[in-house]
Structures are given as structure tokens and as C-alpha cells.
Amino acid sequence: MITIDKFNFSGKKVFVRVDFNVPLDANFNITDDTRIVAAMPTLKKIIADGGSPIIASHLGRPKGVEDKYSLKHILAHVSKLLGVDVQFANDCVGEEAGAKAAALQPGEALLLENLRFYAEEEGKPRGLKEDATDDEKAAAKKAVKESQKEFTKTLASYADVYVNDAFGTAHRAHASTALIADLFTAENKMFGYLLQKEVDSVERIMKAPTAPFTAIIGGAKVSSKIEVIENLLDKVDNLIIGGGMAFTFIKAQGGKIGNSLVEDDKLELALEIIAKAKKNNVNLVIASDAVCGDAFSADANVQTVEADQIPDGWMGLDIGPKGEKEFTDVILKSKTILWNGPAGVFEFDKFAHGSKVVTEAIAEATQKNGAFSLVGGGDSVACVNKFGMAEKVSYVSTGGGALLEFIEGKVLPGVKAIRGF
């Protein structure tokens, strides 16, 4: 597989799939440009070589053409970051797009309109009636799959080279993330810098971690992380369970959790995970105390109690001081660290201290002890950003669902389309 470093883009038109699915406020101002900034090294490399990037992305989940999801809202910022006056095509597959792509000169760039304005990008039919029969659904799906082929061919026709730099959508077998790669030769398709870094970072921790390997898995529900946890249990030395999901484990072992979040239908599963961890000699760590609130609110009353003795009417919303020490002691001894999911409701300052301590411990293990740390998943990324630690961990992933599926051991279509596996 050819790498972007070794490719000379001089005189080439390059279809670059990026993930510019960034949050916008009511006035269409970008509130977090992390994903745009992350794609700049790839785009700047193409321009510096004398190539012409044709930039393609989705924004939001439109059901057709919707102005609020137009990429025109981010055009000025992309131009500013790239250092060139990026042109814009009001459609991604219309005459204008084809003409502007054909007219691009070396060093110029073009941003296409939102790919998901077309159902063909995702390959899913739209506009079906709620009472559509199975036959009607099958016919609609067949029709969109057929039109998707032409949509994909049109996108590919703009360029000589295909570069995928959108890890955030690599788990989707969409027209621009996977199908299009089949229309380019092996010598003319590759990962961008960002996607290559993402793949390298995840494979480093999953295939060749330096021991001790610690995974910190948080979030609200066990059910959303089952496959992640199960795939990690034969790889990690320590598994730290944080966030709301910890209370399902605590209740499963007979603890009193008050009004804390719990999945009663996953209690047996929690016990199975505990047993499997023991069988695999994995040190399973759950905080022994909890900071509780009498409401899920930023101004709730607060008390700290044993995590398995939470009074009725109270809910665990963060780990307590003992839990902070238990987590920190494990993290600081680790050489490989994966963090997905905060320790508590860090959005509320009263319940943010545990996540702050975890963030600081990961940064210290990385900076002082030489650990390799990968932080991924929206809430974890927001955590390291909130506490100013993004530059002090080894790698912050831009992928949410894609990262989880990769950690689960699944093959990502966007990755397979380029490297074959």
C-alpha cells in the first residue's frame, strides 16, 4: 500500500474524503474545529506538491437538501486554515461540480457541497411511507443501490487520486468512504495523514501494547460497550470501569446504589464480565466510593459515600477521593493506556473532579513515565480539552463509532477499501 508521504501529487487532482462534520451554533459559526484542523496536514501536503484537492464531506444527518447542513457555512474557515481561497461547488455531483473540478489549477482547492444531500452517499432509500410493504422497501433499496453506482462514478471522475482522511466515517461502507476506492488503482489510493495515524495508534494498543496495559472504559451504559470490553479482556492487564455503567456492576454484586443509573437487564452480563476478568487475570477496578447528588443537576446537593451504600433518593455522579486514588495508582504504573468514557458527569463542575484526576494521571503517565496513551470517544475528548490536557497525551482520536468498532476488532470498510483488510 502506498503512503501519502511517498506520493507526489504534482499536477494531480485529488478526491479527498474528510470528516468536516463539525458543530455549528444558531448563527452557523463553528464551535469546535478540531476535525477541520486535523485534516489540514493532508490538504496542505497535496497543495505543496502542486496538486489540487477536491474536498468532500458530510455535515449532520440531512434528509435531502437543507441549508442548515450546507458546507458553505464552513468555507471561509477552511480557506483561512488552508491558506488558499477554496472554491465551492453548490452541488457535489452536478454540472457545476464537474466543471469546477476540471478547471482546477495546481495549488487550487475545491469544496463540494454536502455529500449526504444525496441518499446515494449512504445508499439508503429516503421518503418511504411509514406503512411501506416489505416489497416496496426492497424495491426502494435496490433502486438506490443502482443509482449509488452512478453517484460514485461521478465523484471518482473528478480526480486522478483518492485519499481517505475521514476516520470518523471509516466504519461506514458509503459511496465516498469505501465504494469509490474500487474505482482507483492501488497506486492511486491511500490514507491521509490523519487516517493513517488513527489506524497506527489503535493497532499499536490492540496488537502490540507494552505492558502493563490499562483500559479505562466509562459512559452511561454497559450495553453500549459490551463488545469493546469483551475484546479487551484478553489483551489488558487492568480494566477500569467508570461512569454510570459502574453501578450496574456494583448492583450485580449486591451493592445498594440508590437512584443511580443502572441497567437491570445487564446484571447477569456484568457478573459474566467480572468472572471473565478473573479468569484472564485482569485487574478489574471499580471505585470504592462515589460522589452523589440528590438530582441530576449542576446545583444538586452533594455527599460522598461508599459506592455500594448509596442512600435512596441519591445517585452516584462521580468517583470519590478513594476512587480517584485507586484509579490513579493503576494509571501511573501503566505503559499503554486506552481511555474511552469519563469517570463521572464532568459537564457539571460538582461532578467533574474524578474525570479531571483521571485526565491528569494519564497525562503524567504519558509525559513522565513514557506511557503511550490513546484517548477516544466524544466525551473523553471533551474531557481532555476541558482540562487542557490534549497536548499531554499521546493521541486523541477523532473517531467515535469508528474507534469503538475498531477496538471491538471489526474490519472498517473505509480502511479495508484501501489496504485490503
Catalytic residues: 35, 221, 378, 401
Cell numbers 488558499: residue: 84
Rg of the chain, C-alpha, whole Å: 23
C-alpha angle 376-379-385 in degrees, rounded to nearest 5: 80
C-alpha angle 366-324-232 in degrees, rounded to nearest 5: 60
Contact 104, 80 (CB under 8 A): no
Contact 349, 376 (CB under 8 A): no
C-alpha angle 314-320-321 in degrees, rounded to nearest 5: 150
C-alpha angle 162-165-168 in degrees, rounded to nearest 5: 130
